[in-house]
Amino acid sequence: DDCARGGGMRTICDVCESAVAVLFCAADEAALCRPCDEKVHMCNKLASRHVRVGLADPNKLIRCDICESSPAFFYCDIDGTSLCLSCDMAVHVGGKRTHGRYLLLRQRVEEINQGIWTM
């Protein structure tokens, strides 16, 4: 499966519910594949102004800054590092548990203007 190969899970389009989503529209709160994005956002001028961000390819995982081999799942804002589960547990024991840590959602943030893809 994808997870065993390090690929992670893919997000399915919220409109057609069959294709892999490649972007997220904040205004619609929806993940969309390219054909559905064109149908939804190119149909009228108002919808075409929605800010959409590209979803990162799950095969291009961010690696842990400590071990440099495992996929990173957390970002520590104090240390400025991306960490896998094992390294996060090793680093953030005791007093460091108060560090603000965030789950990495593997999303590339790029605005898509006027139907032109900037992937």
Q: Which residue has the tokens 């919808």?
A: 47
From the centroid of its chain, how far is CA 28?
17
Residue-wise pLDDT tens digits, 29-64:
999 999 999 999 988 888 888 988 888 776 677 889
Instruction: State the first-to-last Cα distance of the chain, in angstroms, to the nearest integer.
Output: 25
8 band by pLDDT with thresholds 50, 70 and 90: low
pTM confidence score: 0.53
> Which CATH topology does 1-60 take?
30s Ribosomal Protein S18 (4.10.640)
Tokens of 44: 């009228």
From the centroid of its chain, how far is CA 87?
21
Domain limits of the chain?
1-60, 61-112
CATH number for region 61-112: 3.30.160
